[in-house]
Structure 1
């Protein structure tokens, strides 16, 4: 389990999980030690472009922003985009059905693709596993990438976090022909 206090609900919306996760992150000893600022639901800067070319109302909103100014004049920033993910369709307590396939499509379309396009700066994706098993969800994400003729972009297991099994990396070609290595962390709730 990602957070084993049992005070969360699988029926939660994505932003509720993000706020919940941020509350735990803020209590970590490294936050004070390295002067890390954590903000939720941040809109990326428009890079001083004219508003008509970069309408703030149409800018993507990143789920978590981490920054510090420890021993540096410029902020070190890291962005985390999060998505709810399910292995299979399931029904919430309210009776509404969660479409697992739609969640996987959204993970690619508004998660991976926002990093690949450069809409989101340096960061990673976090999948909130609300139903099923992370490795099965990753297999289904990879199937969808292959179906979309993106087989070179599949998620490959990579334990970049010590003693944490559900970490993956994918490699993508950006429009500027540079490669991006995107980290994926799956948290089971």
Structure 2
């Protein structure tokens, strides 16, 4: 079982590298626009993940807007009740399948509604167990990342969730990396992809 845990952690690091390199190459190409919906940005990042030679070397498959089936009654419209998550990356090792997920949300420094949505349909979906085994990505489209994270934290504190605030952590792969702690799930990881430099 310990070997499975080691492999799972190694796979998570590969997923982080693939999504971070996709973000970095999208900045180089300057295709993403600051008025895009988050699904537009996710589709573009997905294209970069698919084109990364490391994905083939590591035998990782990926898709966007993946369904995460739950045990629900099968009747007309049942699939609409599946939680959907932005990125699903999978690989096989021997007879085990490993999955990792990323959920993405648009963010703007001065937009409380987007920050509230990051909490309500991002953080809360992981905390509730609707989404599992994954991380959150904030697509920053306006403002500064630190101030935007402070705004998310202010909303969490307002909700009396002080222990769940995002805390900056050093990460060798990425410099805008945060973690939050939650009693139900433990650590939730956050990446802030700053696209504001595209307009400069």
Settle same-fold status: TM greater than 0.5.
Answer: yes
Using the alignment, how far apart are the partners of 1:41 and 1:121 within structure 2?
A: 15
Q: Deviations over 1:12-48 (max 9, x none)?
A: 00100000111111222320111000100011012x4
Residue 114 of structure 2 aligns with which residue?
103
Q: What is the TM-score when the length of structure 2 is the normalising length?
A: 0.80
* 1:163 positional shift: 4.9
Q: What is the TM-score when the length of structure 1 is the normalising length?
A: 0.84
* 1:49 positional shift: 4.0
RMSD (Å), alpha carbons? 1.7
Residue 14 of structure 1 aligns with which residue?
38
Using the alignment, how far apart are the partners of 1:87 and 1:39 within structure 2?
A: 29
Residue 60 of structure 1 aligns with which residue?
83
> Are the counterparts in 1 of residues 72 and 78 from structure 2 also a CA contact under 8 Å?
no
User: What is the aligned counterpart of 1:81 among 103, 108, 113?
Assistant: 103
Gaps of 5+ in 2: 1-22, 196-200
User: Higher helix share goes to which structure?
Assistant: 2
Give the 5 Å matches for 1:165-176.
165-174=175-184
> 179-188 or 77-86: which moved more?
179-188
Paired positions, count: 170
Gaps of 5+ in 1: 89-99
Q: Deviations over 1:145-166 (max 9, x none)?
A: 0000000000011133x25210
